[in-house]
Structure 1
């Protein structure tokens, strides 16, 4: 697959504190040597923000969509639509990657996704990890990786995260994009891709570092999952 333009979409609600690190990491991933001939458009959807999130995003060079959805599904969809509309006709968006404003992608994140796309995969569903300094890091890993096979065996994991997701534009359009869900829009998109027979790779090879905060921005999201997890003292 030859990707003329890659769109990276980041929904954000009051994320002025964590967004700079997220955008810096995306910038590093965009400068990977494997993307030398690829244009990367980063779109931040400032959804119902009351802080400096839009200004922080613009200062980092991202495109900004100001919205008042308070709905992650609508925010992600709006970000994708904005990127598709802004792409050069000579270099259309052929791959869409999404992450979150409280997450830090690895330097080879986009290179990894595009390499899988060249292998014929139409979506790449990745995993997340917590900072090693978090008291939740070990219990999260034990619970999260309960189905992981012995070392050396690929793990077709059961997880889906908007923080670590990539999809070919044609496949995304085929299933109608992200649905307007307040939670689970990432799961719904992947389920739709699988129902339509698109090649979906579930891989743990390129995990994204995400925040261990317990005050979730999206009800029912990863923060709520962490908040419900037994603490080490309770285990």
Structure 2
């Protein structure tokens, strides 16, 4: 079984599209009918995220960590207990492509680090978009790490010690631990995930903070 884990904190505006894309990716013909289970980790939600998730019939788990590292780790534990051989991670404000899981499995790696793209830059200036495009490398063998586009086999995940209980950069630390144990990591640009560039982001020091940093005057001069 393949397990998908999605942390969500007050994501009613994005969660519907996210889950629809995951359900579609789970049915890809190259998966040859292997079961895929989707788990939405509803972390201290006070909006309608719970109803949105449950309307799709996916697995849900209520928690109150308000810590993305803890939330991802708890979700991984639940999926491992259910027998998952592969763990795939994305974010609730993201939409995965149809071949997302199929590409991860076809690479035959211990872990897969994919890239992200932004489709709506309306909350940022043109200078931020240009600066982002100048610094980002959407190519094969890149070295970008995104919790919104990450997959890892269960055995490698456990050997590496899993996600640390960090409020940010938990994905980077996991990949560093995977490298430390000699895991085979595929750095692919073939399965790009569309993610949000909103300014009202949920995770401090995450993708949203990075985009805001690109607007600093010292970077624009």
TM-score, normalised via structure 2 length: 0.92
TM-score, normalised via structure 1 length: 0.86
| 3-state SS of 1:17 partner | coil
**Residue number in structure 2 paired with 1:155:** 140
Unaligned runs of 5+ in 2: none
Q: Is the 8 A contact 1:127 1:208 kept in 2?
A: yes
CA distance in 2, matches of 1:168, 1:141: 31
Q: Is the 8 A contact 1:129 1:141 kept in 2?
A: no
Per-residue CA deviations over 1:143-181 (Å, capped at 9, x if unaligned) read 212xx7xxxxx6321210000000000000111111100
**Residue number in structure 2 paired with 1:211:** 196
1:99 and 2:90 are equivalent in the alignment: yes
**Residue number in structure 1 paired with 2:20:** 24
Among 140, 156, 162, the residue aligned to 2:132: 140
- Cα distance, 1:182 vs structure 2: 0.4
CA distance in 1, matches of 2:196, 2:13: 12
| 3-state SS of 2:107 partner | helix
Unaligned runs of 5+ in 1: 149-153
- Cα distance, 1:132 vs structure 2: 5.7
CA distance in 2, matches of 1:27, 1:130: 21
| 3-state SS of 2:66 partner | coil
- Cα distance, 1:142 vs structure 2: 1.8
CA gap 1:138/1:25 in 2 versus in 1, 3 angstroms: farther
CA distance in 2, matches of 1:180, 1:133: 31
CA distance in 2, matches of 1:141, 1:104: 20
- Cα distance, 1:141 vs structure 2: 2.0
Q: Is the 8 A contact 2:27 2:33 kept in 1?
A: no
1:111 and 2:111 are equivalent in the alignment: no
CA distance in 2, matches of 1:137, 1:18: 21
**Residue number in structure 1 paired with 2:111:** 123
* Displacement over 6 Å in runs of 4+: none
CA distance in 1, matches of 2:182, 2:197: 34
**Residue number in structure 2 paired with 1:69:** 65
| 3-state SS of 2:85 partner | strand
CA distance in 1, matches of 2:120, 2:19: 21
